Chain A
């Protein structure tokens, strides 16, 4: 398929990707260097070069590096899953939450606290992922019934209905059980601070599988952008592409939400920015989203550490506050297209 009509030359696309990559690297360095507790740059570099047992070494290796790595991985996962989700539903309002991921994860956490009395963070991760997978599975089963399969409107509606239903069940439990409410409200803000070293190796395989799957369906998503019938006539196995895309969203976004809590803004907005920068070709939209996601998330996380010293503002609360004005300015400036 020839995308030249959209006027984004290939060389520009590659240099854009390089600029984004450098920015992400810069933000990652900042994230290791900056915290709510000031450590002189020389000490940070010393701790990185020769790990010891001092205070600076501890902070850098035990807190800041895992947190930065979590921001990179989760940000990329959120950006990617948002782009795949919008390609799957062809709906600009559809974030991964529409597939039931957020509602399922939240229900999983509430089930862990209310049903099993678990309040350990590790338990949340397992239950949240299980909940996200189960609820998204249900959404897929309902949305893909019938002759024409998981059409965009049907899948989005099924997701909205199931999400609202599960969300209400969660609210009902929280309304009746104040212990669960107390535990839940801290989880529900979304924060990178909870991501400790041992968590990342556990979630990385899921994220990797999801990312591979996402990049595997890019051509299919390009074809789907012209409608299911056209995609079929171009030789795409539409049902397979849609199922693969949905599975990628669940793996990426389900793992991300389970690891750091619901951070909805990135999956919703980053793909729009990526599309405005890179054009409609998902082979470019996906890598752009995968870099823009961690850029926004880490920038917000750093801002959250320094904006209210000595305490911190969670990334989930500050992402939107900082990102939204930039996003509005951006969509006013750029031409926007229907999906």
Chain B
């Protein structure tokens, strides 16, 4: 088998290319994810056996059912969905910018969402729905500003990144200034939001994430061939007939939509968008690890981090954004140190 080309499944009138190792890795990661979901529902301050969980899921009505259906399951599902969105978004941006450090944050998704969410919290908004809407609007606004300011006779990848740096710096600086002006309790609440957390999320928020994934994932899969062509460089992409600016705008929009939904619901969960695509491509052993695999790894990492965050410090729910890097960092470092390829 040629590892770079994969295998093909051919039938009358169709052919489907697939990569045995990619399928294997993705399946293993999905199984791991399933195990994590079960563990996330079983473990906690009030441990439940697997049988009890199954009872609670199907028709239970007591305290156990309440814990599982109201708290543990929505939280675990939210972590999986948000992680998948972030991993997918990271894979799109890293391939698009051909830069291993590129992520939705570079375009201002995080800093824009954080600025509006923090401003709303500091001015007394505490309901969940307006905060999600506000954070999403902030992310959308910041990325639109970056895109428009960077656009000059087409899009230049370097200029996009540089303008993103500028808008990010503005938003972060405004956020810092808002922190300095506000009273300490509101500031602490806002600061905790900025670490990212799945604590207390309910089915409403899960619904938002699921809707976003349902829109974004099919679009991303449809756009994946264009993304692979764009990764070869503008000149090659143009010469094989790709409509450059339209494809790029569509991919950026999908990536931003994915990341902005996750950040709006759970706060800026750092490091997932950066590390998930890298883990995927290093384990699949192809330069392009695949968007879906990156999404699965994002989900795996976030779910594991959320589970660990509930247990790493006794009596405290450590924000998931802290744990993602504690868990994902060493994994990536290990892969970097032991594999020869870049």
Q: A and B: real partners?
A: yes
- A interface residues (Cβ-Cβ under 8 A, vs B): 91-94, 98, 142-143, 145-148, 151, 153-154, 156-158, 160-162, 164-165, 167-169, 171-172, 175-176, 189, 265, 268-269, 272, 313, 317-321, 323-325, 327-328, 331-332, 336-339
Chain B residues with CB under 8 A of A189: 176
Residue contact A165 to B336, C-beta cutoff 8 Å: no
Residue contact B173 to A318, C-beta cutoff 8 Å: yes
Most buried by B among A146, A176, A313, A331: A331
Partner of B170, one of A91, A325, A332, A336: A325
Chain A residues with CB under 8 A of B275: 161, 164
Residue contact B336 to A157, C-beta cutoff 8 Å: yes
Decide yes or no: A165 and B333 within 8 Å by CB, A93-B165, A154-B342, A172-B326 being known contacts. yes
Provide the main secondary structure of the chain A interface.
helix
Which residues of chain B from 255 to 295 have any CB-CB distance to chain A below 8 Å in the complex? 270-271, 274-275, 278
Query: How long is the Cα–Cα vector from A142 to B329 in the complex, in angstroms?
Result: 12
Q: Which 6 residue pairs across A and B have the least CB separation, nearest first?
A: A165-B329, A320-B169, A164-B325, A168-B325, A328-B166, A320-B173
Residue contact A324 to B173, C-beta cutoff 8 Å: yes
Give the contact stretch, choosing among B13-21, B153-161, B203-211, B213-221. B153-161
Give the shortest distance, in Å, between B322 (CB) and chain A (any CB): 5
Residue contact A317 to B149, C-beta cutoff 8 Å: no
Decide yes or no: A98 and B101 within 8 Å by CB, A321-B170, A324-B166 being known contacts. yes
Chain B residues with CB under 8 A of A324: 166-167, 169-170, 173
Chain B residues with CB under 8 A of A145: 336-337
Chain B residues with CB under 8 A of A142: 333, 336-337
Partner of B159, one of A160, A175, A336: A336
Query: How long is the Cα–Cα vector from A176 to B315 in the complex, in angstroms?
Result: 11
Q: How many A-B residue pairs have CB under 8 A?
A: 146
Decide yes or no: A167 and B325 within 8 Å by CB, A158-B336, A324-B173 being known contacts. yes
Decide yes or no: A321 and B161 within 8 Å by CB, A91-B101, A146-B340, A336-B156 being known contacts. no
Most buried by B among A161, A171, A338: A161
Chain B residues with CB under 8 A of A313: 177
Residue contact A156 to B333, C-beta cutoff 8 Å: no
Chain B residues with CB under 8 A of A167: 325
Query: How long is the Cα–Cα vector from A328 to B326 in the complex, in angstroms?
Result: 34
Q: Is B162 an interface residue (CB 8 A)?
A: yes
Residue contact B167 to A164, C-beta cutoff 8 Å: no
Decide yes or no: A317 and B162 within 8 Å by CB, A164-B271, A325-B170 being known contacts. no
Query: How long is the Cα–Cα vector from A312 to B157 in the complex, in angstroms?
Result: 38
Interface size on B, residues (CB 8 A): 53
Give the shortest distance, in Å, between B166 (CB) and chain A (any CB): 4
Give the shortest distance, in Å, between A35 (CB) and chain B (any CB): 20
Q: Is B332 an interface residue (CB 8 A)?
A: yes
Query: How long is the Cα–Cα vector from A319 to B336 in the complex, in angstroms?
Result: 35
Partner of A317, one of B167, B176, B329: B176
Give the shortest distance, in Å, between B204 (CB) and chain A (any CB): 27
Give the shortest distance, in Å, between B202 (CB) and chain A (any CB): 24
Query: How long is the Cα–Cα vector from A91 to B98 in the complex, in angstroms?
Result: 10
Given contacts A91-B100, A160-B100, 14 further A-B contacts (CB under 8 A): A92-B158, A93-B161, A151-B342, A161-B329, A164-B271, A164-B325, A165-B326, A168-B323, A175-B322, A269-B165, A269-B169, A318-B173, A325-B170, A338-B157
Query: How long is the Cα–Cα vector from A265 to B165 in the complex, in angstroms?
Result: 9
Chain B residues with CB under 8 A of A147: 340
Nearest residue, chain B, Cβ from A168: B325
Q: Is B319 an interface residue (CB 8 A)?
A: yes
Give the shortest distance, in Å, between B22 (CB) and chain A (any CB): 21
Decide yes or no: A321 and B173 within 8 Å by CB, A93-B106, A164-B271 being known contacts. yes
Residue contact B322 to A161, C-beta cutoff 8 Å: no
Query: How long is the Cα–Cα vector from A206 to B143 in the complex, in angstroms?
Result: 40
Residue contact B195 to A323, C-beta cutoff 8 Å: no
Query: How long is the Cα–Cα vector from A321 to B172 in the complex, in angstroms?
Result: 9
Residue contact A165 to B325, C-beta cutoff 8 Å: yes
Residue contact B100 to A156, C-beta cutoff 8 Å: yes
Chain B residues with CB under 8 A of A92: 99, 158, 161-162
Residue contact B316 to A176, C-beta cutoff 8 Å: yes
Q: Is B174 an interface residue (CB 8 A)?
A: yes
Give the shortest distance, in Å, between B13 (CB) and chain A (any CB): 41
